[in-house]
Amino acid sequence: MNENSWFERGHVAIVTGASQGFGRAVATELAGRGIALVLDARGAELLDETARRLTEHVPVVAIAGDVTDGAHVHELIAAAERRFGRLDLVVNNASTIGRSPLPRLDQLSPAMLERIYATNVFAPLHLIQHALPLMQRNDGGTIVNVSSDAAVNAYAGWGGYGSAKAALEQLSRILAEELSGSNVRVIVADPGDMATALHRAALPDEDPAGLADPKDVAPALLHAIAAAREPFTRVVLQEQLAAR
Amino acid sequence: MSAAALIVPLGREASVPPERRGIARDEVRLLVSDRAGRRHADRSFRDLPLLLRCGDLLVANDSGTLPAALTARRADGTALGVHLSARIAEGRWIVEPRAALVAAGERVDLPEGAEITFVAPVDAGNPRLWYATVATPLPLETFLARHGRPIRYGYVSEGFPLADYQTIFARTPGSAEMPSAGRPFSARVVDGLAAAGVRVATLTLHAGVSSAERSERPMREPFRVPESTASAVNETRLRGGRVIAIGTTVVRALESAARRGAAVASAGWTDLIVTPERGVALVDGLLTGFHEPEASHLDLLRAFLDDAALRTAYIHAADSGYLWHEFGDLHLVF
């Protein structure tokens, strides 16, 4: 299967956190390949701006809300179902680092930890749970959970975010195991450091000039989606970029 | 696709309005097909609010039907039926002389000193439609109200009053033929839609006389999509609602107003022909009647249902006793 045959015009993707940064770059790449989109972000204004721009290429539904809100997740799925009647790809991209500056674990409040897990672990799983029946109604599909090297490496201050991403990765592996034999593939993608709002919040003093532009990283994710053969794949996107 | 599967089944032509068959306008039947063509459900039109969802948008044609059929007298004293099909400008129309050949320059008389002069055929190869001047001493609307009749085809049993040819949405007179998919809408159905959170927006497309032959291209028709409707369409789609066209005239007008995936306020004449190859950019579903398998109508339907699904739907409709034509039953595809 070549890259273009995976991305069939008329296929449908949900991308969370799509109003800026990596999510917006991925949505833009998908639109360029003719994939209809259901987009989510918390800020309606930025989200609508992205959606209106992409509408020139593909049908786009934009629903502002928080992925930790169960009803909002139901809305995303309902929009894919009623407007497009199918779902082929879910990109769980919406993420939070909690609070900036990043607190050490001994300073991390239970409320903040709960918020980080709610956004980075519980919300993606909730979306997946509702997406699977719709995906499996057609030809199966792909689930992408956007992670980070903080899930595998120990960086001081990244305890909340990193452990949440580690949980998301382990959950992805187990999900893939449970789905083996179905036509649903699970991908964990580590996009690496990029010049995004999340990165700015985490490391406000770092010079963004040396960081990758999400626009340059997003094509590597599309390549990984098209290339995935195994039930589970973990891909470091900037390594893929360097290798190509 | 072969039109054979889609011919009007014998005895299934609605020859009178439903009100004259003992049921209300909104009690006609409704066949509901999903666009994948897997399911066909038999409902009553009155169930429409139950079939749509909060956030969906229906778009109606608010063009009113003209009493566009007139009887003229030729110079030799014989009667000539004429249909006013489309108004080009003050006193200038596209006119269809019925069942007779006319010559360029021929003048025919209408009552009260009015007259029609045939200027030139619209299409030199097919003298069915003519550019003509229509001169009436009275304002045209008054004249038509006095002397015109709604256009009627052979399957309709008798002449019914103009009110039978108006939809609840009619605001701007100008159609030679009723935008008939809007006919079953009643105040109670519209109320039911509002209560269900389904919005209704309108546009105008003045429908000309229908193509007589399968090979004929549909004519240019004047249309207007107001800003309020263009934004309602864009907003609905952006929020995941479905845009459902009430009739093929609405599909033609809305798709004529599509620019880069969004609707923009537009007005003018459209010669757009919607085909499966072109597809539809703004419309997610279609409410339409059952009609003659004329080429342009079929092409437009095929933009919503593939050949196999369309055939299944029409066979189901024929087998289940659905009624064809403007006074008949409805088909919702979404």
Residue B66 confidence (pLDDT) above 50: yes
pLDDT digits (tens, 9 = 90+) for B78-136: 999 999 999 999 999 999 999 778 999 999 999 999 999 999 998 887 778 999 999 99
Q: Are B36 and A85 a contacting pair at CB < 8 A?
A: yes
**Domain A3-243, CATH:** 3.40.50.720
Model pLDDT, residue B173: 95
Model pLDDT, residue B92: 96
What does DSSP say about strands B330-333 and B285-289: parallel, antiparallel, or unpaired? antiparallel
Interface of A with B in 150-169 (CB under 8 A): none
Model pLDDT, residue A1: 38
In three-state secondary structure terms, B143 is: helix
Q: Are B35 and A83 a contacting pair at CB < 8 A?
A: no
CB A28 within 8 A of CB A37: no
Q: What ipTM was estimated for this complex?
A: 0.75
> What residue of B is the nearest CA neighbor of A78?
B240
Residue B24 confidence (pLDDT) above 80: yes
**Domain B3-65+160-333, CATH:** 3.40.1780.10
Q: Are A61 and B53 a contacting pair at CB < 8 A?
A: no
In sequence order, what are the residues at sequence separation of 6 or more whose Cβ sits closer than 8 angstroms to the Cβ of residue B116? B72, B82, B95, B107, B108, B110, B132, B133, B134, B135
Report the 10 Å Cβ neighbour count for A20.
18
Catalytic residues of A: 161
Report the 10 Å Cβ neighbour count for B108.
24
Model pLDDT, residue A138: 83
Spans of chain A, pLDDT less than 50 = 1-4
pLDDT digits (tens, 9 = 90+) for B210-222: 765 556 677 889 9
Query: 């196999």: which residue's tokens?
Result: B308
Of B34, B240, B261, the CB nearest to A63: B240
CB A116 within 8 A of CB A164: yes
Shortest distance, CA A216 to any CA of chain B (angstroms): 25
In three-state secondary structure terms, B299 is: helix
Return the domain boundaries, chain B: 3-65+160-333, 69-147
Q: What is the fold of B69-147?
A: Thrombin, subunit H (2.40.10)
Q: What is the DSSP letter of B237?
A: H
Return the domain boundaries, chain A: 3-243
Full-model pTM: 0.86
User: Chain A partners of B234 at a C-beta cutoff of 8 Å?
Assistant: 55
Of A59, A78, A85, the CB nearest to B237: A59
Model pLDDT, residue A244: 65
CA distances from B266 to A38, A186, A189, B218, B246 (A): 28, 46, 45, 20, 19
